[in-house]
Amino acid sequence: MHNKQNNRESKTYVQGLRPFGNTLPRGVKGILKKNGYNYSEIINKWSFLVGKDISSFCYPKSIKMTDDSKNGILILSVERGNEINIEYKKNDIINKINSYFGYKLIKEIRLRTLNVITKKKDTPNILGKFNIKYKKEISEIKSKKIRNSLYQLLSIAKK
């Protein structure tokens, strides 16, 4: 057994063994104290918890917990136009999350509108005009490996 002294603390260790709490980085300790593992679990299992129909247009933005780790507020980012769907399904979402964790983790859900820029479906492919030109130039390259790699790159860029 030996003693280790730092500027902040003096601890006794046996053969280099340390308490698990001392091995965690400071940022992780703060997250664990604020129930960040619950938030990460909600994010990881979001589509499983609420279903694909709801998870396709909303996702959890943050969670605010009280001191007793109960009755938290879940803040969801919702695509514009789908707020009313989530508003009607708030109780279902709360019940599903609370039943997953086994205790009343979420008390309330608040919505934040997410402005999503939709991409036009009729956008022309940039390479469409120059595809023939590139193929001619690529076919003039002597190295077979480079030629094949460029053909693959061109096909990926076309998609």
Residue 13 pLDDT more than 60?
no
Q: pLDDT, tens digit, for every residue of 34-84?
A: 566 777 788 888 888 888 888 888 888 888 887 766 778 888 999 888 889
Q: What is the pLDDT of residue 91?
A: 92
Q: pLDDT, tens digit, for every residue of 111-141?
A: 998 876 655 444 445 455 556 667 777 778 8
Q: What is the pLDDT of residue 11?
A: 57
C-alpha–C-alpha distance, residues 3 and 13, integer Å: 6
C-alpha–C-alpha distance, residues 48 and 46, integer Å: 5
Across the chain, mean pLDDT equals 75
| Neighbour tally for 151: CB within 10 Å | 14
* In contact, 129 and 121? CB cutoff 8 Å: no
What's domain 20-114's architecture? 2-Layer Sandwich (3.30)
Q: pLDDT, tens digit, for every residue of 15-37?
A: 666 676 667 677 666 666 656 67
Q: What is the pLDDT of residue 95?
A: 92
Q: What is the pLDDT of residue 123?
A: 45
Tokens at 74, concatenated: 């879940």
